[in-house]
Amino acid sequence: MVGHAFMGAAHSHAWRTAGRFFDLPYRVELAAVCGRSPERTAQAAAKYGWESYETDWRTLVGRSDIDVIDICTPGDSHAEIALAALAAGKHVLCEKPLANSVSEAADMTRAAELAEAAGIRSMVAFNYRRVPALALARQLVEAGRLGTIHQVRAQYLQDWLVDPEFPLAWRLRKDRAGSGALGDLGAHSVDAAQFLTGQRITSVGALLETFVTERPLPAEASGLSGTASAERGEVTVDDAALFTARFDGGAIGVFEATRFATGHKNAMRIEISGSAGTLAFDAESLNELAFYDRTQDQDTAGFRRIQVTESTHPYLDAWWPPGHLLGYEHTFTHQVRDFVAAVAAGEDPRPSFADGLQVQRVLAAVESSAAASGAHVPVHPVP
């Protein structure tokens, strides 16, 4: 695994846990974790259960005892690491968004398709696909329970940037993160919308806004102790993104991604309305799915709450008795289960790098539309 911060902790937990609850076709060994600082990486290896550590990802990729490279770094290094890993014959799991640009994502997708012929598999890590409630929602849509899909309403609301003195972290720099709330949060909503509906976004009309344009530099940037220095730097990404969308199956959608929604910590919400019903999900009620069935008696019809904890629900047969809830971390364990199972079966895991490229194309179209004062623009195919 390359990187050991927030996502590194989540992925480490998943690699440790998956084989203890699911019957995996392979035994997973946490061979090595990689980071720039020898001290911090050694601490992470000991804390998260990795057998060894490296400080150069190239060394990690070159090791003969490693079969999988898991990329948990900022987006500016995804392409370089993934391309090298695929060329070295390693299976690759890469955090979202796939890259910082369409061109990088396209290069990664082409490399993944070439590697596929040699049995090398790759997947982009959109973990919300593995929330049992959203996996169940996908099954209901596939079964026709919503009829013809008409509309999608998606929000991803956080508030951790409301304080203007919050330091200029890497997520606020375009050269490191690619974009702000759009790529960090909106990418999840775009992938979830396309996954649940089975439709692709073909055009968007957008607005991007940066509310705080300068922030204190992190302490490490100036050599000071503490969380921030007196020096300030420019915020080069969006704080909030709003856009409308058209889908290739005839649906329309409205999306909001923001890190300025005061009072909301991680409200990833999506609602899908069709001719026969509506499904609604909110990550702050992770084990629940709301379902309105229009075919029911209208005198008593209404949204009903499905508690997604039954053993027949997606992924739940490996966990606890009904009513005993799962958490955010379980989505990463499910992700590992599906990835390992696909590799063992010689199948391409989903979401693929091609799926990640499609999301990247939507993000690029949103930025193009915002630059054009919100004019509706197409999601351009990759040449």
Q: In the CATH hierarchy, which top-level class contains the domain 131-327+359-369?
A: alpha beta
Q: So where are the chain's domains?
A: 6-128, 131-327+359-369
Yes or no: say if 24 and 7 are a contact pair by the CB < 8 Å rule: no
The amino acid at 325: L
Strand, coil or helix: 224: coil
Phi, psi (rounded to 5 degrees) for 295: -80, -10
> Per-residue pLDDT for the chain (383 aa), expressed as one digit of tens each?
999 999 999 999 999 999 999 999 999 999 999 999 999 999 999 999 999 999 999 999 999 999 999 999 999 999 999 999 999 999 999 999 999 999 999 999 999 999 999 999 999 999 999 999 999 999 999 999 999 999 999 999 999 999 999 999 999 999 999 999 999 999 999 999 999 999 999 999 999 999 999 999 997 653 333 456 679 999 999 999 999 999 999 999 999 999 999 999 999 999 999 999 999 999 999 999 999 999 999 899 999 999 999 999 999 999 999 999 999 999 999 999 999 999 999 999 999 999 999 999 999 999 999 999 999 999 988 76
Average pLDDT of the chain?
96
Give CA–CA dist 278/124, Å, rounded: 28
Please name the residues in contact with 75: beta carbons below 8 A apart, sequence gap of 6 or more.
97, 99, 100, 176, 177, 178, 183
Strand-pair partners of 290 = 280, 305
Please name the residues in contact with 46: beta carbons below 8 A apart, sequence gap of 6 or more.
none
Superfamily of domain 6-128: NAD(P)-binding Rossmann-like Domain (3.40.50.720)
Find where tokens 């909030």 sit: 240
